[in-house]
Amino acid sequence: MTNTDKPTFLTLHVASGWRQRLPQQIVSFLPLTLFFQIGVMYTGIILFLLSWLISGQWQLKWQRLRHSPLFLPVVCLSTLSVVISLIHPHSEHEFTSAFLHYQSYWILLPMLTIGNGAWQRMAIRNFFIGAVIAASFFYLNSFGLLPDGRFFRGYTVYEGGKSILFALLLAIAPAWMLHEWRVFRDWHFVRAFTFIFVLSALFLFARSRTASLLFLILFLVLTGVWASASQRFRRWYFTSLVFILLIFSMSLIYVVQMPTPVSCHPKEMLDKYGMSGAQILKSRSICTVHQVRDFMKDGQVSEDGMRLEIYRNTWSMVKLSPWIGHGIGNWLPMYRVKAEGMMSEQMITPHNDYLLYWFELGIGGVLCLLTIWLTQLKVGLSMLKHGFKVHAVALLMLTVAMMFSASLNAIMRDGVYTFAMLILLAIPLASLNLELSWREKNKTND
């Protein structure tokens, strides 16, 4: 080999730099994959993990991971799941998948080791592009222009989990858009159009009560952050909040007295009665209020309101073993026995992460889950305090979205929800390394 054939320091450095940047580049495109079939997202995650393995810099990665506030809570949850799995018998068909669900946060941890950078802006931009594409699919479907193929299922047909995920993402995206608009104050026409375009798709076509309510909650969180920075705006905010609560209470009283809609099932509303997305959302909202009213009065539930029955049955089983739970993967077989002959007998999830964790892992499971989410809130508030406004507020809103959604859907039990939320979490949490460096530098200067 001649001297010209030998690898030089420059070529080795370029090759090494390419490998180190690859995980960031792949993660920046993952938010776009959330709006398509689940296999696209899983493929992206696998590509990221492979690129992460070949990117090197293991000492730096370990240092970033070790200093992450989420590392210890995630380890505690995994340790608890191992201990509980040793205490209780295993379900023949459910244990393995259920056990892996409790390890989901380990997918996030490698993403926290790749560092902050321009990829975060690209990731947010791709998330917004994905939201616009998803909204376009809903609009096209409303005009009968979207093909009824497998690629578009979830937009053309209400598919439960996947359709709910699309709706949740369409609730988070406009909240993030509004925040970025206020921070950067540029491209006003483009930002206004995309915000209205995506938000309208959520309320008119997504047909999700949870997602519609989620956006309103995120809007209150966002305006609450704005209010905290201004004494004048703070008074206006709390006055408006009281007014909103008053209007909401009066609306509930009015809805309780309204006649029951012709149907409470979204598929029947669409296929049999030809309702629009907005009409379906309105009817399902009325149905929800009526279902809660009837359940509190005499315990009656309808097919669309089975969650109330699931919550009641699951809670009654939780009380039988509140400290150490009933074991990982045991909710489904035990619930089938408990709900035999009831309307909710065939349900495969309790639609509530808090109840599921308490049922299977005991009180420690709920505390571990809350510790992780409260840590995310603490990190977000710390970043906000130290001037990392863009990603701090995004993290706060996303954490609130997870905590709220977990009360109505098992987002940590279903990989469709879990990995989508973890991918979005990686974007603001990557700035944590920058904040830690900033704080360390200030300590040194002091």
Condensed to tens digits (0 to 9), the pLDDT of residues 171-222 reads 999 999 999 999 998 899 999 999 999 999 999 888 888 899 999 999 999 9
Given a cut of 70, whether residue 379 has pLDDT beyond it is yes
Average pLDDT of the chain to the nearest whole number: 86
Residue 336's pLDDT band (boundaries 50, 70, 90)?
A: very high
Whether 84 and 327 have beta carbons less than 8 Å apart is answered as yes
Check residues 85 and 156 and name the one with the higher pLDDT. Answer: 85
Given a cut of 50, whether residue 12 has pLDDT beyond it is no
Question: Cα separation of 5 and 388, whole Å?
Answer: 47
Give the residue from 295, 272, 299, 298 showing the smallest Cα distance to 283.
272
Question: Cα separation of 126 and 359, whole Å?
Answer: 38
Check residues 91 and 45 and name the one with the higher pLDDT. Answer: 45
* pLDDT at res. 259: 83
Given a cut of 50, whether residue 13 has pLDDT beyond it is no
* pLDDT at res. 1: 43
Give the residue from 414, 290, 288 showing the smallest Cα distance to 351.
414
- Written as six digits, the tokens of 102 are 């409790």
Segment 241-256 shows an average pLDDT of 84
* pLDDT at res. 442: 54
Angle between helices 353-361 and 71-87 (to 10 degrees): 50
Residue 109's pLDDT band (boundaries 50, 70, 90)?
A: very high
Check residues 345 and 436 and name the one with the higher pLDDT. Answer: 345
CB atoms within 10 A of CB 259: 7
- Least confident range from 162-171, 297-306, 400-409, 430-439: namely 430-439
Give the residue from 278, 286, 330, 282 showing the smallest Cα distance to 305.
286
Can you list the positions of beta strands (E) in 14-157? none
- In whole angstroms, what separates CA 340 from the centre of its chain? 32
Segment 285-299 shows an average pLDDT of 76
What is the total residue count of the chain? 446
- Written as six digits, the tokens of 404 are 């709220």
Question: Cα separation of 237 and 227, whole Å?
Answer: 6
Segment 252-273 shows an average pLDDT of 78
* pLDDT at res. 365: 97
Q: pLDDT exceeding 70 applies to what percent of the chain?
A: 91
Check residues 385 and 159 and name the one with the higher pLDDT. Answer: 385
CB atoms within 10 A of CB 38: 17
Check residues 416 and 219 and name the one with the higher pLDDT. Answer: 219
Dmax over CA atoms of the chain, in Å, equals 89
Given a cut of 70, whether residue 423 has pLDDT beyond it is yes
What are 94-108's pLDDT values in tens digits? 899 999 999 999 999
Angle between helices 415-429 and 363-385 (to 10 degrees): 30
* pLDDT at res. 272: 73
DSSP H helices, 329-362, are: 331-338, 353-361
Residue 359's pLDDT band (boundaries 50, 70, 90)?
A: very high
Whether 204 and 375 have beta carbons less than 8 Å apart is answered as no
- Written as six digits, the tokens of 411 are 């987002």
146 — alpha (psi -120 to 50), left (phi > 0) or beta?
beta
* pLDDT at res. 4: 43
Kind and range of the H or E element at 414?
Answer: none
Residue 435's pLDDT band (boundaries 50, 70, 90)?
A: low
Question: Cα separation of 397 and 401, whole Å?
Answer: 6
Angle between helices 209-228 and 277-298 (to 10 degrees): 90
Given a cut of 50, whether residue 241 has pLDDT beyond it is yes
